[in-house]
């Protein structure tokens, strides 16, 4: 049985970033990317880099990042910055239970 | 039918594509395009074998009521009451027999209205024309007669007299010589033409036709009478002008100038058409009539058209120009005076009362309908129609439904998707209300915490938070934070309650309700020991008690309550509950190193 690998996880507020094994996705290069907006404040979790670009791929609604720059970081107005070392990442936005959506999905 | 051999993934994929395609149809366009709407309405009418209607596009259902009432009041109260009865009958029929399916809905309403209203429409149309024309004439006749003593009119008459004098200077012999010469040129004897009797016996020419031919040939003198006027334009004018109405916050009309301007232009045009008859009669009487007699005597009626044209050339060019200019001056001054009088008389005495009456009626309807269901006069697609069509489309793409037949239905919905909120459809006339302004959240659901998320130009609005409708009073209490925890917990509608609870704040509500700690776990956060808890309480917005995990933010160290799925056993444990918020199992979550 293959030994489970411990993955690096980052969390900033309601954004989780998991390091994943190198993927073969087709990444689009951008200079920055907003990962999520705050519901009330309008603040955003944004990944930026001093130089170079960030690879972004959306696979079946799932956001993946490819970091090649040593100075990439996730910024937010209220949280500590998080430095992301080069590698591929999966971004997950924290979910909450929504009884309205649940009821609607049950009815449908 | 063969059993469809598709995997669940393929079916899910088709389902999501169909849904997205139709969402794009419904959500777009942001702004309604009048041209696109008219094409859409023409398509719908055409589909049911109806002629393309005159389509009035207004920016709210209230404006639509107003436009309709304006038209109905313009006809008269009899037709108005008949239309009302017809409308009530058809609405009742549709309510009883109708279904949510667009084909039935649309055909029922269109054809019920069509059949019954058809009998009324032509009468109303005729009476409308007669009414506006009689009123316009009544207002214009006297000013016109007064123009007869106007300096411009006198100058014109003087010019006519000058031309007449020129002709009169010619002796009978000179005129006779002219005529003979012209006849010779026009009907050369060597060609064997019998100019004095160019038609066969019992085959007399159409006198009016030959007269028209003459004036067509005189176009270099710009003498042809205008053919502008009433012909088929009066009704269109009134229908089109209502598109110019705009409304303030209370639904009151704030701009009618443009429509008034059109009314004036229409009346001026109609008047000028009438005036021109007298204008040219005067000329014919004074000048042409004199020669017609002479020429007809000499060379026959048919030839006189050919003869008169060169004779006009004998008149001094300057005199002709003076004559034309004098005529233009008369027209200008007459119309200026007519306009001034009509502005005060026609607009105030005719337009304003109708407008006032229409406004009052529309306002009463609006109020009455708000008590029942908003905008019920309008036909519009129910949400169930959209759901149904997505379902049909899904099966059509799977090959289970005949595409050709379904296209008729989808095209109707697409036509409505051009930006139509609803429409009142009558024979030859369709009043369309465009879509309201819509504010959405990031998931494109109607949403606003600052104002009505769905708002029409007439001021009517609907309040939504994250796609859930709220009565205005409740929405105001929530957004202004004047609602109490107990009031939130007493909200009967579970959807509204769930939104209200989230907006109010879980922590505050938990203080007001009995809660139970299900489990605890101590966590070391940056050297500080913090307790994570799973808490349950009955908020009444779900069938199961609400379950929360109380966590601490690693960077801000603020405590936060995250609501988790109470049906998932993993969420009974704080770490499992946190893992659930990331879409992971507890094991997967623990495998990752949190930084």
Is the Cβ pair B591, A13 closer than 8 Å? no
In this structure, the strands spanning B429-434 and B54-58 are parallel
Express as a percent the part of chain A with pLDDT over 90. Answer: 1
B442–A99 C-beta distance less than 8 A: no
Helices (H), B419-493: 472-479, 485-490
What pLDDT is recorded for position B540? 79
Chain B residue with CA closest to A97: the answer is B564
For B591, the closest of A4, A79, A97 (CB atoms) is A4
C-alpha–C-alpha distance, residues B587 and B594, integer Å:
13
* pLDDT at residue A38, rounded to an integer: 60
Q: Is B498 close to A7, i.e. CB distance below 8 A?
A: no
Closest CA to B483 of B458, B467, B465: B465
The verdict on a CB contact (< 8 Å) between A78 and B581 is no
For A107, residues 6+ apart whose C-beta sits below 8 A from its C-beta are none
The whole-number pLDDT of residue B246 equals: 45
Residue B118 confidence (pLDDT): 47
Which of A17-26, A44-53, B39-48, B177-186 is predicted with the least confidence, judged by mean pLDDT? B177-186
Question: What letter would DSSP give residue B378?
Answer: S
Kindly list the residues from chain A whose CB atom is less than 8 angstroms away from the CB atom of residue B523. Answer: none
Spatial CB neighbours of B171, under 8 Å, sequence gap ≥ 6: none
Residues 409-468, chain B: which have Cβ within 8 Å of A? 442, 466-468
Other C-beta atoms lying within 10 Å of the C-beta of residue A61: 6
Buried b (16+ CB within 10 A) or exposed e, B516-527: eebbebebeeee
**Residue B495 to residue A18, Cβ atoms within 8 A:** no
Check: CB of residue A11 under 8 Å from CB of residue B594.
yes
CB contact under 8 Å between B581 and A99, yes or no, is no
Nearest CA to B565 among B590, B583, B553, B587?
B583
Q: Is the pTM of the predicted complex or chain greater than 0.80?
A: no
What pLDDT sits at residue A103? 61
From B548, B493, B535, B484, select the one nearest B512 (Cα to Cα).
B484
Q: What is the pLDDT of residue A51?
A: 76
The CA-based dihedral angle spanning residues B305, B311, B312, B316, taken in that order and rounded to the nearest 10 degrees: 180
Tokens matching residue B134: 């009689």
Chain A residue closest to B500 (CA)?
Answer: A100
Find chain B residues with C-beta within 8 A of A95's C-beta: 581-583
Chain B residues touching residue A80 (CB < 8 angstroms): 554-555
Chain A contact set for B546 (CB, 8 A): 99
Chain B positions touching A78 (Cβ under 8 A) are 555-556
Positive or negative, the CA dihedral B468, B472, B473, B478 is positive
SS3 of residue B421 by DSSP: strand
Query: Measured between alpha carbons, how far apart are the two ends of chain A, in Å?
Result: 41
Q: Which residues of chain B have pLDDT under 70?
A: 1-6, 19-32, 62-63, 65-324, 326-387, 427-428, 458-459, 591-595
Place of tokens 């936005």: A93
Q: Do B553 and A92 touch (CB under 8 A)?
A: no
Question: How far from each other are the two terminal CA atoms of chain B, in whole angstroms?
Answer: 57
Length of chain B: 595
The shortest CB-CB distance from B581 to any of A5, A9, A94 is to A94
Cross-chain CB nearest to B583 (options A80, A95, A99): A95
Interface of B with A in 373-392 (CB under 8 A): none
Taking only the tens place, the pLDDT of each residue in B202-229 is: 444 444 444 444 444 433 333 232 233 2
Tally of CA atoms within 13 A in the half-sphere of B208 that contains its CB:
0
Pull the structure tokens for residue B483: 């609602």
Nearest CA in chain B to A61: B16
Provide the percentage of residues in chain A whose pLDDT is more than 70.
80
**Spatial CA neighbour of B538 closest among B513, B564, B502:** B513
What residues in A contact B592, CB-CB < 8 Å?
A: 6-9, 18
CA distance B449 to B335: 55
Residues 43-62 on B with a CB inside 8 Å of A are none
Nearest CA in chain B to A99: B542
Looking at the complex, report in whole angstroms how far the Cα of residue A86 sits from the nearest Cα belonging to chain B.
16
Name which of B89, B325, B78, B102 is nearest B221 in CA terms: B325
Contact B167/B292 with Cβ under 8 angstroms? Answer: no
In this prediction the ipTM stands at 0.83
Cβ-Cβ contacts under 8 Å, B386 against chain A: none
Scored b (16 or more CB within 10 A) or e, B331-355 reads: bebbbebbbeebeebbbeebbeeeb
Chain-centroid distance, C-alpha A59 = 13
* CB < 8 Å from A in window 472-531 of B: 494-495, 498-499
Write the DSSP symbol of residue B571. Answer: G
Q: Environment class of residue B209 by beta-carbon count within 10 Å: exposed (0-12), middle (13-18) or buried (19+)?
A: exposed
With beta carbons under 8 A apart, name residues in chain B contacting A102: 542, 565
Three-class SS of B509-545: HHHHCCEEEEEEEEEEECCEEEEEEEEEECCCCCCCC
Contact: A12, B555; criterion CB under 8 Å: yes
Tokens of B231: 């012909």
State the Cα angle at B367 between B364 and B372, rounded to 5°.
125
DSSP string over B157-225? HHHHHHHHHHHHHS-HHHHHHHHHHHHHHHS-GGGT--TTS-S-TT----HHHHHHHHHHHTGGGT-PP
């Amino acid at each position: 049985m293959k030994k489970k690998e411990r993955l690096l996880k980052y969390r900033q507020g309601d954004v989780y970033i998991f390091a994943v094994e190198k993927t073969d996705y087709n990444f689009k290069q951008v200079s920055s990317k907003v990962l999520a907006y705050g519901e009330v404040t309008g603040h955003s979790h944004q990944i930026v880099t001093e130089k170079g670009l960030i690879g972004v791929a959306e696979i079946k609604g799932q956001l993946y990042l490819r970091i090649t720059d040593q100075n990439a970081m996730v910024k937010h107005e209220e949280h500590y910055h998080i430095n992301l070392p080069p590698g591929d990442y999966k971004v997950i936005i924290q979910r909450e239970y929504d009884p309205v959506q649940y009821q609607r999905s049950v009815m449908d | 039918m063969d059993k469809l051999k598709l995997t669940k993934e393929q079916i899910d994929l088709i389902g999501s594509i169909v849904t997205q395609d139709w969402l794009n149809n419904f959500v777009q366009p942001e702004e309604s395009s009048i041209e696109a709407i008219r094409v859409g309405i023409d398509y719908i009418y055409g589909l049911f074998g109806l002629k393309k209607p005159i389509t009035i596009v207004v920016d709210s259902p209230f404006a639509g009521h107003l436009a309709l009432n304006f038209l109905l009041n313009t006809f008269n109260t009899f037709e108005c009451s008949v239309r009302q009865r017809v409308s009530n009958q058809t609405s009742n029929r549709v309510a009883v027999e109708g279904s949510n399916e667009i084909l039935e809905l649309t055909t029922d309403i269109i054809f019920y209205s069509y059949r019954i209203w058809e009998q009324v429409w032509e009468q109303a149309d005729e009476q409308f024309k007669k009414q506006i024309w009689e009123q316009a004439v009544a207002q214009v006749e006297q000013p016109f007669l007064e123009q007869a003593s106007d300096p411009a009119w006198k100058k014109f008459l003087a010019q006519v007299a000058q031309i007449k004098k020129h002709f009169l200077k010619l002796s009978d012999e000179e005129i006779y010589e002219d005529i003979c010469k012209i006849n010779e040129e026009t009907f050369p004897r060597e060609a064997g033409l019998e100019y004095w009797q160019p038609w066969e016996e019992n085959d007399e020419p159409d006198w009016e036709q030959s007269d028209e031919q003459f004036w067509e040939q005189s176009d270099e003198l710009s003498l042809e009478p205008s053919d502008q006027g009433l012909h088929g334009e009066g009704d269109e004018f009134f229908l089109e002008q209502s598109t110019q109405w705009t409304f303030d916050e209370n639904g009151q009309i704030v701009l009618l100038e443009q429509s008034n301007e059109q009314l004036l232009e229409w009346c001026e045009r109609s008047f000028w058409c009438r005036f021109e008859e007298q204008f040219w009669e005067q000329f014919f009487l004074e000048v042409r009539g004199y020669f017609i007699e002479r020429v007809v005597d000499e060379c026959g009626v048919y030839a006189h058209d050919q003869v008169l044209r060169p004779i006009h050339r004998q008149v001094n060019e300057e005199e002709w120009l003076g004559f034309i200019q004098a005529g233009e001056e008369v027209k200008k001054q007459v119309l200026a005076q007519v306009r001034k009088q009509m502005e005060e008389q026609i607009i105030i005495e005719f337009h304003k009362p109708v407008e006032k009456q229409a406004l009052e009626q529309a306002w009463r309807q609006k109020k009455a309908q708000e008590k029942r269901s908003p905008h019920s006069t309008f036909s519009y697609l129910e949400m169930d129609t959209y759901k149904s069509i997505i379902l049909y489309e899904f099966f059509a793409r799977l090959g289970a439904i005949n595409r050709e037949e379904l296209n008729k239905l989808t095209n109707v919905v697409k036509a409505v998707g051009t930006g139509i909120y609803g429409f009142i459809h009558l024979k030859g006339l369709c009043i369309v209300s465009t879509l309201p302004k819509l504010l959405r959240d990031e998931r494109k659901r109607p949403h606003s915490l600052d104002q009505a998320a769905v708002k029409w130009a007439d001021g009517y609005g609907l309040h939504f938070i994250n796609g859930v409708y709220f009565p205005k009073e409740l929405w105001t209490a929530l957004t202004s934070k004047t609602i109490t925890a107990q009031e939130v917990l007493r909200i009967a509608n579970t959807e509204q309650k769930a939104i209200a609870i989230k907006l109010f704040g879980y922590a505050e509500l938990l203080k007001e309700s009995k809660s139970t700690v299900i489990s605890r776990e101590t966590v070391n956060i940056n050297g500080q020991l913090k307790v994570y808890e799973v808490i349950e309480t009955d908020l009444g917005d779900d069938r199961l008690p609400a379950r929360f995990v109380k966590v601490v933010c690693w960077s801000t160290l603020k405590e936060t309550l995250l609501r988790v799925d109470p049906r998932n056993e993993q969420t009974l444990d704080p770490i499992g509950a946190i893992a659930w918020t990331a879409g992971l199992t507890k094991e997967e979550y623990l495998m990752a190193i949190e930084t």
